[in-house]
A and B are shown apart, each in its own frame.
Chain A
């Protein structure tokens, strides 16, 4: 152990950092904690695994119309549960930095707060897009095999099936981003998690109990309800918005919340 500082030639010659540097830093950060790999593994296991399981157990009942639902609702079944992991991951991307005080190291290294936020958003949504889509394909391939055996299988060319595969990635990416925005605003893991989970799963379902046409519209545009139709060939709930208009509403909500979070993040003391 010596107190001398090494000759700094390599540092002096290093290039000026740009947005790519910030992106690389956030990518290393994202994958160097175990919660990321765990969340992604859970997303895949729940998303693909439950789809296969539910298809396997329901295939004959669906074929005999004992269950009066479209088989298209079943090939992405697991995503309904797996979306929780996207919420957890998105929340942690923001709140884990506040819980540990890491945010001060982050902002001392990159004082341009907008860049930090953009890099976090790109790493998170990119990952969820890829893993979400892959999970949907795996669930479809596994689950559809059981449906095909009963003669009610869907091909990728069928209406909405391919859209639902990529739509699953899109919806999970949006949900992750929404959770990150809430995490940035609340800056506390438990509070942020309960806010998003409560909004998407509890408030989203309760809202259908609201009376009249007005109440139905409120329920339709709530984030989970507007964003999820794009992620399935045929939604279980028949009153939801159409896939792409719904996703447009969802995306607008996510971007609005992200804008509010960005303003707060740039203004507040770290």
Chain B
């Protein structure tokens, strides 16, 4: 279990993490979602005792990470941007990590097999592709067979097969009763992997709920209606309290489902050419929620004109 309480980190005058509190429960995959620069990696670094919080705290299994006598056996972490020396082989990288936490050397071969890197174990990691580097990072995370697994942007650079593998791995680890905390800036990926979401933007928690709740609450849907009598239908719908946007013969209706719109049109003898439920994508929902908190937003094309 991971618990953050009023966790804050400032660098000079810039606040990277602004008093966030959340709990990551065991037995499920918790997604840590936010745009780049939202404070995900800073939070991860404070979790691992690499950066010191300016105020507040973040604990693992009830104590600070740094107080663990054998941290790799308690928390396994995939760090961002491969924390590796390019001249060392994959096997030697795992060997020194195993030695540092008094893990048996046999565990090195086990995790190499687990991530499918046996055949390149004695190659220097500088030659590894991004995907192989990520696999090695995951091998590091699993080395100590930890009850808490923290993965920072694990699918970066992976091919589709690799992405599915990470997704399955995360779920399997959670099913074994482990605490699994996965950060990502990809909403769609998190929707497939995580059961619970902690969404942050500009260092603040924007949502902390189950993935299903998040989708229901934020991924708003609308009804698209096409009719030769669109103007009449729009009046009718507005009188029923619906939110209607008209674009020629096409209406965008919120506040009534397809059945309701169809029944209303039928009762008034209006002709419909199209009646569709349009779900906005999760990506849209995420963009909407974090729109104000994107650190480096791109101006829409043409905005400068």
Cross-chain contact of B79 among A10, A11, A108 (Cβ < 8 A)? A108
Closest to A2 in B: B114
Q: Are A22 and B100 within 8 A (Cβ)?
A: yes
A68 at interface by CB-CB < 8 Å: no
Chain B stretch 94-128: residues in CB contact (< 8 A) with chain A:
95-97, 99-104, 106-107, 110-111, 114-116
Nearest Cβ in chain B — how far from A188, in angstroms? 16
Q: Are A33 and B87 within 8 A (Cβ)?
A: yes
B271 at interface by CB-CB < 8 Å: no
Q: Are A111 and B101 within 8 A (Cβ)?
A: no
Q: What CA separation (Å) do A12 and B103 show in the bound complex?
A: 9
Q: A269-B50, A269-B52 are in contact. Are A109 and B145 (CB under 8 A)?
A: no
- Point out the residues of chain A lying under 8 angstroms from B88, CB to CB: 29, 32-33
Cross-chain contact of A25 among B87, B96, B142, B145 (Cβ < 8 A)? B96
A105 at interface by CB-CB < 8 Å: yes
Q: What CA separation (Å) do A84 and B154 show in the bound complex?
A: 41
Cross-chain contact of A17 among B70, B89, B96, B107 (Cβ < 8 A)? B70
Cross-chain contact of A111 among B68, B81, B114 (Cβ < 8 A)? B68
- Point out the residues of chain A lying under 8 angstroms from B270, CB to CB: none
Type the 1/0 row for B38-70, where 1 means its CB is closer than 8 Å to any CB of A. Answer: 000000010011111000000000000111111
Q: What CA separation (Å) do A16 and B95 show in the bound complex?
A: 17
Nearest Cβ in chain A — how far from B149, in angstroms? 10
Most buried by B among A12, A21, A108: A108
- Point out the residues of chain B lying under 8 angstroms from A10, CB to CB: 103-104, 106-107
B210 at interface by CB-CB < 8 Å: no
A110 at interface by CB-CB < 8 Å: yes
Interface residue tally on A, bucketed by range: 35 or more
Q: What CA separation (Å) do A110 and B68 show in the bound complex?
A: 9
Q: A108-B49, A270-B51 are in contact. Are A101 and B73 (CB under 8 A)?
A: no
Nearest Cβ in chain A — how far from B118, in angstroms? 10
B221 at interface by CB-CB < 8 Å: no
Most buried by B among A18, A22, A35, A110: A110
Q: Are A269 and B49 within 8 A (Cβ)?
A: no
Q: Are A108 and B103 within 8 A (Cβ)?
A: no
Closest to B49 in A: A111
Nearest Cβ in chain B — how far from A242, in angstroms? 42
Cross-chain contact of A109 among B97, B107, B114, B115 (Cβ < 8 A)? B97
A259 at interface by CB-CB < 8 Å: no
Cross-chain contact of A102 among B69, B85, B114 (Cβ < 8 A)? B85
Closest to A101 in B: B83
Q: Are A96 and B85 within 8 A (Cβ)?
A: yes
B72 at interface by CB-CB < 8 Å: yes
Q: Are B84 and A101 within 8 A (Cβ)?
A: yes
Q: Are A14 and B104 within 8 A (Cβ)?
A: yes
A6 at interface by CB-CB < 8 Å: yes
Closest to B140 in A: A105
Q: Are A32 and B92 within 8 A (Cβ)?
A: yes
Q: Are A11 and B145 within 8 A (Cβ)?
A: yes
Q: Are B70 and A108 within 8 A (Cβ)?
A: no
Most buried by A among B83, B97, B114: B83
Q: Which 3 residue pairs across A and B have the least CB separation, nearest first?
A: A25-B100, A111-B66, A8-B145
Which residues of A line the B interface, CB within 8 A? 1-6, 8, 10-12, 14-18, 21-22, 24-26, 28-29, 32-35, 96-97, 100-105, 107-112, 269-270
- Give 11 CB contacts A-B under 8 Å: A5-B142, A6-B145, A18-B102, A28-B95, A33-B85, A100-B85, A104-B50, A108-B79, A110-B100, A111-B71, A270-B50
